Amino acid sequence: MRRHISKLALFTGAALWAAASGAFAHGFAGKRFFPATLATDDPFVADELSLPTVSRRKTGGNGDEPATLETDTSVDFTKRITPNFGIGLGGTWVNQKPDGGDTVRGFDNFAANVKYQFLKSDEHETIMSVGVDWDIGNTGAKRLGPDTFSTLTPTFFAGKGFGDLPDSLPYLKPFAVTGTLGLAVPTRSSTTTVADDGTETTTQNPNVINVGFAVQYSLLYLQSFVKDVGLSEPFNRLIPLVEVSMQRPTDGSAPTTGTINPGVLWAGRYMQVGLEAIIPMNRATGGKNGVLFQLHFFLDDLFPRSIGRPIFE
Amino acid sequence: MTTRVLVRATLLAALAWPAAALAHAFLDRAVPAVGGKVHGKPAEVRLRFSQALEPAFSTVQVFDAGGKQVDRKDKGLDPADASVLRVSLPPLDPGVYRVVWRVLSVDTHVTEGDYRFEVAP
């Protein structure tokens, strides 16, 4: 009996706290739910697990390097330390099948990141964060030839829903945009390798500007807040989107490359599923079209009283 | 091969995830409908959510075009279904009305929203 009373008291306390402070958790700003996008880092901090993210695409040949069919399988875990500050860890298993060559497999360099969400406007459905991604050099399989140096990427993240548009534009309200702007800074400006015959080759490692954004149209938002158009499960939880991911060295040593990814997300109660095409955005990017798939779990929904909560509240 | 095994294992894990797990409450269906037009005088607003709600901290209010609250302030959960939040309405004049809700799911997650409906003559 006493145990039940304690549980009741604990729950009531949690409910009171949540009701007072608004425990919106993953990707909410007001009534806007921002899904986790596949190619563009999210503008919010959350307790989430992407397991797995699988991409498959044939890259173009370059000089002596043959065209290669690459399949990457990634796991990413993010954890809130406080409601607005989180950390993340990620690893990618790489499978490379070069034309006419043997398949090479192994882990790519592991990555870690920190992120601080400094702005959330419920009224304007806006979230902004800053963070740093750390690609940890020399942690991948040597046979893949991963970077032997680390790369730090300070990044600005933003998300904006258009629910605050005038009521005369109701069908534009389900639109939202998320985006990132980062500068990848290698910890070593150049790398020198020595061939078996003693020949030294020096490769420059320029800083790289990374830009990514996702334009999404939430049928969930349309159905719940604008107009019930009669969609039922699973269509009322679909979010069609287009993601664009671009990179360019700041020293101009290479052209802008990137991909355009049209696709769709389905957001469920505990997880979401995403599927996108990967389309090279220009000739410099090279290669062929590919595919990107992700299963993404909302840990704050699955385990709201344990690992789904910030460590310090 | 490894990728295929991992994808299959993950799908299996997703399907086998405990059904008792809880989540944010999304609005599944509303009467009067979101953005809908009603002929006659609706007796109440009923909101069906994707999961059970905590009654003490779940609210729904109805406002007229002038911002005046017009519901009977008797909001509550449907005794037969804890995922349905309802509030009674007096006879409404033709016009546009706004429903504003904020709910606490039983796992302490808050969601909120609003929508409009029209009462036609």
Position of tokens 């007796």? B43
- Taking the Cβ of residue B108 and every Cβ of chain A, the question of whether any pair is shorter than 8 Å is answered with yes
Q: What pLDDT, on the 0 to 100 scale, is given for residue A8? A: 45
- A58/A52 Cα distance (integer angstroms): 20
Q: What confidence tens digit (pLDDT) does each residue in B93-121 have?
A: 999 999 999 999 877 788 999 999 999 98
- The mean pLDDT value for A142-149 works out to 88
Q: What pLDDT, on the 0 to 100 scale, is given for residue A13? A: 45
A189's CB contacts (< 8 A; 6+ apart) are A204, A205
Q: What confidence tens digit (pLDDT) does each residue in A231-246 have?
A: 988 899 999 999 999 9
Cross-chain residue pair A93–B2, CB shorter than 8 Å: yes
Q: What confidence tens digit (pLDDT) does each residue in A56-78 have?
A: 999 988 777 889 999 999 999 99
Burial of A47 (0-12, 13-18, 19+ CB in 10 A): buried
- The mean pLDDT value for B39-68 works out to 94
Residue A155 has pLDDT above 70, yes or no: yes
Closest residue to B10, CB basis, from A19, A52, A227: A52
* Proportion of chain A above pLDDT 90, given as a percent: 72
Q: How near does any CA of chain A get to the CA of B80, in Å? A: 22
The candidate with the shortest Cα–Cα distance to A210, out of A156, A282, A161, A274, is: A156
ipTM attached to this prediction:
0.80
Q: How near does any CA of chain B get to the CA of A271, in Å? A: 8
Find residues 23-62 of chain B whose CB sits inside 8 Å of chain A: 23-24, 26-30, 33-36, 50-51, 54, 56-57
Residue from B53, B54, B107, B116 to probe the interface with A (highest A Cβ count within 10 Å)? B107
Token couple for B17: 């995830």
3-class secondary-structure state, position A177: strand
Cross-chain residue pair B115–A298, CB shorter than 8 Å: no
- B31/B42 Cα distance (integer angstroms): 9
Q: What pLDDT, on the 0 to 100 scale, is given for residue B3? A: 53
Residues of chain A in contact with residue B116, where contact means CB-CB under 8 angstroms, are: 167
Residue B4 has pLDDT above 80, yes or no: no
| Range with the poorest average pLDDT among A144-153, A252-261, B106-115 | B106-115
Closest residue to A54, CB basis, from B3, B36, B116: B3
Q: What pLDDT, on the 0 to 100 scale, is given for residue A301? A: 81
Contact A107, A94 (CB under 8 A): yes
Residue from A8, A10, A31, A32 to probe the interface with B (highest B Cβ count within 10 Å)? A31
| Residue A224: DSSP 8-state | I
Residues of chain B in contact with residue A220, where contact means CB-CB under 8 angstroms, are: 26
The candidate with the shortest Cα–Cα distance to B98, out of B69, B74, B72, B73, is: B69
Q: Give the residue ranges of DSSP H helices in A118-263.
A: 219-221
Q: pLDDT band for position B25 (50/70/90)?
A: confident
Residue with the bigger pLDDT between B50 and B72: it is B72
Cross-chain residue pair A31–B34, CB shorter than 8 Å: no
Total-model pTM: 0.85
3-class secondary-structure state, position A109: coil
Position of tokens 């604990």? A10
Contact A187, A168 (CB under 8 A): no
Residues of chain B in contact with residue A161, where contact means CB-CB under 8 angstroms, are: none
Nearest Cα residue in chain B from A269: B23
- Taking the Cβ of residue B96 and every Cβ of chain A, the question of whether any pair is shorter than 8 Å is answered with no
Residue A196 has pLDDT above 70, yes or no: yes
- B89/B73 Cα distance (integer angstroms): 9
For chain B, how far is it from start to end, CA to CA, in angstroms? 65
Q: What confidence tens digit (pLDDT) does each residue in A19-58 have?
A: 334 444 578 899 999 999 999 999 999 999 999 999 999 9
